[in-house]
Structure 1
Amino acid sequence: MAAMLDPHASLPELSSVWLRVFLEVARHGSFTVAARALGWTQSAVSRQIAALEAELGGGPLFDRLPRGVRLTEAGRSLVPHAEAVVAALLEARRELEALREAAAGRLRFGAFATADAALVPHALALFRARRPRVRVTREEGFTPALLDRLAGGLLDLAVVSTTGRAPLDSYELHHLLDEPLYVAVAADHALAGQDGPVPLGRFADADWICGSARPEGTLLEVALRQGFRPRVAHVVGEWTAKQGYVAAGLGVTLVPALAAGSVRPDVRLLRVLDTGGPARAVYAASVRGRHPTPAAAAFLAALREAAARIPR
């Protein structure tokens, strides 16, 4: 029967440095030669061996001879154990370095749709120029789904927004930008030539085009905060289709600043007057307490740089 390990038994607190020095001295049969191989002084090697002998409490590990040293019986007994410990530590280091290299060579991130219009492509171009060998996989989705993927370890980083009432408190949030909103109207709309920001209330009686019949949890929720419930006349999910409806004069829609650069020429954008702060904030989210991979940290830096270039 195998001996049971006593969890209360005291174990020697051996330093791996002591064991490495011990093996070098045993290999060369000399403190002087071992010190040269290690790049140390002879006195430093002697102190390490003395500390190891004191910790083990089993007497000397080497007989000190007029020329060199020779393993004692205790020293010969220690050799295979020291070799096993040092080899195991070296193997552990190799495996950890391999894991770090694999993580450094992979980036998995997600982003909500309008972030893919300008912010993400610009950041990805910067990242590709700096880390051309990293394998990148990208997902697109709504903020709650991206956060679930992030929490499950399927993403390293997620570009998310405060739209949708997703619980953000349990994540590490890296602020990228506060995003203003625009109202998209047809080119022949009565307000199409308006200069300066427009109160959203000017569109309280308009037909709205939205991705949901209910404004709650969408960009259009800002209308509720400004005192009116918008009339959603057309539920259209796809971004380019929304623009088609607007251009045809079938209603108006909200456009976040991240997507403003991709608006078609027969649609006009009117800046929404900010009342009580920006409509939404955009973050790069990571899991709190989880150390970012080198690739994720580099992509976060690229996102911040790209966000600084987005017109406010």
Structure 2
Amino acid sequence: MAMKLDQLRSFEAVARIGNFTRAADELFVAQPSLSRQIGALETELGTELFRRAPAGVTLTAAGEVLLPIARRMLGDARTAREQLDELAGLRRGRVRLGAPPTLCVSLVADVVAAYRAAHPGVELHITEGGSRFLVDALNEGALDLALVVARGAQPTAPATELIPLLSEELVVVSASGAEARGDSLQHQCTLAQLARMPQVAFSRSYDLRVATDAAFAAAGLTPTIAVEGAEMDAVLRFVERGIGVAVVPAMVVIDRPRLRSTRLVRPQLRRTVNLARRTDVGPSAAAAAMQQIVFETVDRLAAPGTDLAQRVTVASHP
């Protein structure tokens, strides 16, 4: 069996879009040509990959099995091309980095700025999502590297390893002018005190929301919710305007003078930030440089004497 990259590329596009015509438009090929590629692939495999219907196509059981394999093979082919392109140096290339929204507004912003300054010719693609989604995307070859968070069970997949970067406290943030308005937050806040304060709660799709809900439930507490279901940027803006407080990772407060950070105690909540990478495929030169800049940025942000040093513990890097 000799599956061709063009066949796999056509298969992945049809599977993702669910329509032969739109997939052909995306790939800049004629629809009959794309249909022949899919037909040839099905003949080679000896099974149908799609269920055809007037409204579109869906994957058969065989198609569901093939899709992650095809994405991984296409990702490996892209990596091979990029590595060959980069033999002359990091004048060009591409890095696809995934991270949760809570890291995109803190660590990732610093990483991207440092990388662009060092390697302006390399394209950067950032994907936001939950840790499980990012690990799956990495394993399928859709990402080169991912930053993922964990509390307890690690989100792992075959041929993927997690390198601990740091352990970070979750803190309570309020508007920086809240003290003048009589806010009860002092230098620290217990979970029981927090439960009585109006809170701006993240969408339930956030790992952070899952962790805080679990902590309240374990303590037999019911939080007071002022606003619920917001995304990261909206949560921070709502807090800045004094609508309520929010629980966020310590790094989120960097360079945000309109937010005041208060330590959360009894219990203290922490999370681990990891760098996820594939072990069965070597990184491209551009991805290897990104990995090094991630390590350097973490060390710089939580260096002794910085504001974060008391709330972030940096792990030993390889």
What corresponds to 1:309 in structure 2? 300
What corresponds to 2:107 in structure 1? 119
| Alpha-carbon distance in 2 for matches of 1:213, 1:126 | 32
What corresponds to 2:198 in structure 1? 207
Contact 1:163 1:217 in 2 (8 A): no
For structure 2, which runs of at least 5 residues remain unmatched after alignment?
1-78, 302-307, 313-318
- The answer on 1:159 being equivalent to 2:144 is no
What corresponds to 1:100 in structure 2? 83
- The answer on 1:246 being equivalent to 2:239 is yes
Q: CA deviation at 1:159?
A: 1.1
Q: CA deviation at 1:161?
A: 0.9
What corresponds to 1:285 in structure 2? 276
| Mapping of residues 133-212 of structure 1, within 5 Å | 133-162=121-150, 167-168=155-156, 170=158, 171-186=160-175, 187=178, 188-192=181-185, 194-195=186-187, 197-212=188-203
Q: Number of paired residues?
A: 213
Q: Which amino acid aligns with 2:284?
A: T
Q: CA deviation at 1:180?
A: 0.9
| Alpha-carbon distance in 2 for matches of 1:166, 1:253 | 25
Q: Which amino acid aligns with 2:148?
A: V
Q: Which amino acid aligns with 1:179?
A: E
- Cα–Cα, structure 1 residues 279 and 221, in superposed 2: closer, same or farther, change >3 Å? farther
What corresponds to 1:132 in structure 2? 120
Identity of aligned residues (%): 30
Secondary structure at the aligned position of 1:251 is classed as coil
Q: CA deviation at 1:269?
A: 2.0
Q: Which amino acid aligns with 1:293?
A: S
Q: Which amino acid aligns with 2:137?
A: R
Q: CA RMSD in A?
A: 3.1
Q: Which amino acid aligns with 2:290?
A: F
| Alpha-carbon distance in 1 for matches of 2:286, 2:122 | 7
Could you list the per-position Cα deviations for residues 110-161 of structure 1 after superposition, in whole angstroms to 9, with x for gaps in the alignment?
Answer: 1111212231122223223333332222222222222221121010001111
| Mapping of residues 24-63 of structure 1, within 5 Å | none
Secondary structure at the aligned position of 1:202 is classed as helix
- The answer on 1:259 being equivalent to 2:252 is yes
| Alpha-carbon distance in 2 for matches of 1:106, 1:293 | 9
Contact 1:222 1:279 in 2 (8 A): no
Could you list the per-position Cα deviations for residues 61-111 of structure 1 after superposition, in whole angstroms to 9, with x for gaps in the alignment?
Answer: xxxxxxxxxxxxxxxxxxxxxxxxxxxxxxxxxxx9865223772211111
- Cα–Cα, structure 1 residues 139 and 168, in superposed 2: closer, same or farther, change >3 Å? same
Secondary structure at the aligned position of 2:161 is classed as strand
| Alpha-carbon distance in 1 for matches of 2:135, 2:252 | 22
Q: CA deviation at 1:229?
A: 3.8
- The answer on 1:236 being equivalent to 2:226 is no
Could you list the per-position Cα deviations for residues 179-207 of structure 1 after superposition, in whole angstroms to 9, with x for gaps in the alignment?
Answer: 11111234125324x13x33222212233
Q: Which amino acid aligns with 1:145?
A: F
Q: CA deviation at 1:305?
A: 1.1
- Cα–Cα, structure 1 residues 175 and 238, in superposed 2: closer, same or farther, change >3 Å? same
Q: Larger strand proportion, structure 1 or 2?
A: 2
| Alpha-carbon distance in 2 for matches of 1:248, 1:172 | 41
| Alpha-carbon distance in 2 for matches of 1:114, 1:251 | 18
| Alpha-carbon distance in 1 for matches of 2:113, 2:240 | 32
Contact 1:172 1:285 in 2 (8 A): yes
Q: CA deviation at 1:285?
A: 0.8
| Alpha-carbon distance in 2 for matches of 1:109, 1:241 | 23
- Cα–Cα, structure 1 residues 185 and 137, in superposed 2: closer, same or farther, change >3 Å? closer
TM-score, normalising length: structure 2: 0.57
Could you list the per-position Cα deviations for residues 30-57 of structure 1 after superposition, in whole angstroms to 9, with x for gaps in the alignment?
Answer: xxxxxxxxxxxxxxxxxxxxxxxxxxxx
- Structure showing greater radius of gyration is 1
What corresponds to 2:24 in structure 1? none
| Alpha-carbon distance in 1 for matches of 2:211, 2:125 | 27
